[in-house]
């Protein structure tokens, strides 16, 4: 339960909304019970009104007062139900929004070191479906449990004033329905509920894999096989869900059986009490109708407890991500950013946690401010890892990385990132306009600055052909623009940031020779007074740099 308790603590900022929803739920439930109870008494009293008693007196009662109370209770129940739905769902949406914000804040320190090891479909499932599953924690578990506890107590106390024996018997049956039955069905359905969470997560992972690799699957005539596999997985999910639904149906039926058994007991005990003169006719009807209404309080609990395992599993999956230790820890009292931007690696070695050998081995490299350096080597030789150490995506296993003579471990994260402008073969374009993608680098950029960046990146002619210009939508991952234009947009973003150190990771990979030449020409003009560190496995672009190093199996050598 510690996973659920952890998230309950995150509910605290929205406690007023949560308490308001529970209060309205309780008000609605009590109004519903009171309405049925009073109606039973009112109908019975009306039926015998005017009859002559044994002593010859006529039975009368105040007709107007209970009639008005019944109308008031009916209105209260209707408005309470509407208010309950409104407030409880608003509270739930606020809580889920807060949890999502908290989750994203926990993810930031894990980028890219830890999250790069996770499958995108799995992370997506945790961010969406697992967090959505937490809505049951309040709507299906917390609120019904609180309402049932208070409501059942109120009913038992109320019945005790009329018929203590019926109150005791009803209380016992309500206890069985609200505690024992949910516990039993929670135990029976726990494995299935946890299994459906895992199956649903794996199903989404495979769906994302299929969508991302659809072109390759079709090209290799493997789409049918992959689709059949997902279909089999879907059938397994349906079978598991069917078993869970069967348990839900049985729990509902058992609760209904308990309610009907309790009703028969109440009828029998009320008849005995009436015979013995302990209850009047209207009061007997009042007690019986109160017993009928009381079971509305506990009916949702067995199904809610079946969802407990699913909610707990989802909470555990979320916490598994947020409790991952980041690859780097930033200082509480960082040093001021240095005035110089000399880069230096001193005997730096690095090993990925899931790999036996070292990716980098005793790298020593000095890059003075304003110099241009290229590191060439085959894929997997450690070039990108070296860049990630420079930007402190990872810390070296041994050795150190310095900026301006200061260890980058002692610098603030945002200030350190302000020193680097990055252009890689996978520069991300977001589902937004060209302008919005550019403003990521500098949110307050003026129109003049945007124009300068567009011209410097060679985008002026391309944007001039577009009817909407900079406001053109680029689509998901830049699907509506060509690879070359996408790289130019990333290059314009690099211009806007205007960082003193440029990190170029295979910046022209996948481009045709003409576009590659244009990109390097634009970079040469822009990088004239900047530090450049470029990694590549191609000879193109080496004219941009002054010094070339070779990288082979994590070892750096000067050419």
How many residues would you count in the chain? 559
**Positions of CATH 1.20.1560.10 in the chain:** 2-322
CATH 3.40.50.300 residue ranges for the chain: 343-558
* pLDDT (mean) for 307-329: 83
Q: How far is CA 13 from the centre of its chain?
A: 18
| Distinct helix (H) and strand (E) counts, the chain | 20, 10
Which strands sit side by side in the sheet containing 555-558, from one edge to the other? 420-424, 501-505, 531-536, 372-376, 547-552, 555-558
Residue 96: closest CA among 24, 160, 18, 32: 18
**Beta sheet of 406-407, edge-to-edge order:** 360-367, 343-350, 398-403, 406-407
> Closest Cα to residue 416, out of 397, 439, 389?
389
Lowest mean pLDDT among 67-81, 107-121, 416-430, 498-512: 107-121
Residue 129 is predicted with a pLDDT of: 81
**Can you tell me the distance from the alpha carbon of 196 to that of 60, in angstroms, rounded to the nearest whole number?**
61
Which regions of 232-384 does DSSP assign to beta strands (E)?
A: 343-350, 360-367, 372-376
On the question of pLDDT at 95 being above 80, the answer is: yes
CATH class, domain 343-558, is alpha beta
Structure tokens at 214: 């659809």
Kindly indicate the confidence band of residue 30, based on its pLDDT and cuts at 50, 70 and 90: very high
- Please determine, for residue 133, whether its predicted confidence score (pLDDT) is greater than 80: yes
pLDDT tier for residue 78 given thresholds of 50, 70 and 90: very high
DSSP tag of 110: G
The pLDDT score that the predictor gives to residue 27 is 93
Q: State if pTM tops 0.85.
A: no
**pLDDT computed for residue 558 by the predictor:** 74
How far are the Cα atoms of 68, 111, 368, 390 from residue 499, in angstroms, in the given order?
76, 21, 15, 14
Identify the DSSP state of 227. Answer: H
Query: What share of the chain has pLDDT > 90, as a percent?
Result: 19
Q: How far apart are CA 253 and CA 256, in angstroms?
A: 5
Residues 6 or more apart whose Cβ sits within 8 Å of residue 161: none
Q: What is the CATH number of domain 2-322?
A: 1.20.1560.10
First to last CA, the chain: 60
What pLDDT digit, counting tens, does each position of 234-253 carry?
Answer: 888 888 888 888 888 888 88
| 340-to-136, 318, 392, 419, 546 alpha-carbon distances in Å | 54, 42, 18, 10, 20
């Amino acid at each position: 339960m510690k996973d659920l308790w952890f998230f309950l603590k995150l509910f605290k900022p929205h406690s007023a909304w949560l308490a308001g929803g529970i209060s309205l739920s309780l008000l609605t439930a009590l109004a519903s019970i009171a309405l049925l109870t009073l109606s039973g008494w009112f109908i019975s009293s009306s039926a015998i009104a005017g009859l002559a008693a044994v002593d010859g007196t006529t039975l009368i009662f105040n007709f107007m007062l209970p009639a008005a109370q019944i109308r008031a209770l009916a209105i209260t129940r209707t408005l309470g139900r509407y208010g309950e739905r409104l407030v409880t769902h608003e509270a739930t949406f606020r809580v889920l929004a807060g949890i999502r914000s908290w989750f994203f804040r926990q993810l930031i320190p894990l980028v890219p070191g830890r999250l790069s090891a996770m499958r995108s479909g799995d992370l997506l499932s945790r961010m969406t479906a697992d967090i959505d599953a937490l809505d049951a924690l309040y709507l299906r578990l917390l609120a019904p449990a609180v309402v049932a506890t208070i409501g059942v107590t109120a009913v038992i106390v109320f019945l005790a004033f009329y018929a203590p024996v019926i109150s005791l018997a009803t209380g016992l049956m309500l206890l069985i329905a609200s505690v024992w039955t949910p516990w039993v069905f929670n135990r029976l359905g726990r494995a299935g509920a946890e299994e459906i969470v895992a199956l649903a997560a794996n199903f989404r992972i495979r769906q994302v894999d299929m969508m991302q690799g659809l072109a390759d699957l079709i090209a290799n005539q493997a789409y049918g096989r992959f689709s059949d596999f997902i279909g089999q997985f879907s059938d397994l999910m349906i079978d598991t869900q069917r078993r869970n639904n069967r348990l839900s149906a049985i729990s509902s039926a058992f609760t209904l059986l308990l309610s009907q058994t309790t009703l028969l007991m109440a009828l029998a005990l009320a008849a005995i009490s009436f015979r013995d003169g302990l209850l009047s006719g209207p009061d007997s009807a009042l007690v019986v109708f109160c017993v009928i209404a009381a079971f509305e309080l506990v009916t949702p609990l067995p199904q809610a407890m079946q969802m407990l395992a699913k909610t707990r599993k989802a909470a555990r999956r979320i916490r598994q991500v947020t409790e991952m230790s980041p690859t780097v820890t930033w200082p509480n009292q960082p040093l001021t950013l240095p005035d110089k931007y000399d880069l230096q690696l001193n005997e730096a070695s690095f090993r990925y946690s899931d790999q036996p050998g070292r990716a980098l081995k005793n790298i020593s490299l000095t890059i003075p401010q304003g110099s241009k350096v290229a590191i060439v080597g085959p894929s997997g030789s450690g070039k990108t890892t070296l860049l990630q150490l420079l930007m402190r995506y990872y810390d070296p296993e041994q050795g150190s990385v310095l900026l301006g003579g200061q260890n980058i471990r002692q610098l603030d994260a945002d200030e350190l990132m302000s020193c680097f402008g990055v252009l890689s073969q996978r520069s991300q374009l977001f589902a937004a306009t060209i302008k919005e993608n550019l403003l990521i680098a500098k949110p307050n950029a003026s129109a003049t600055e945007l124009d300068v960046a567009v011209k410097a990146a060679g985008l002026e002619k391309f944007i001039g052909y577009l009817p909407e210009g900079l406001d053109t939508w680029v689509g998901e991952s830049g699907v509506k623009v060509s690879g070359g234009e996408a790289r130019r947009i990333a290059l314009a973003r690099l211009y806007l940031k205007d960082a003193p150190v440029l990190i170029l990771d295979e910046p022209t990979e996948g481009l045709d020779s003409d576009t590659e030449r244009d990109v390097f020409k634009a970079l040469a003009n822009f990088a004239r007074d900047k530090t450049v560190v470029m990694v590549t496995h191609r000879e193109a672009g080496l004219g941009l740099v002054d010094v070339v190093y070779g990288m082979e199996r994590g070892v750096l050598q000067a050419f």
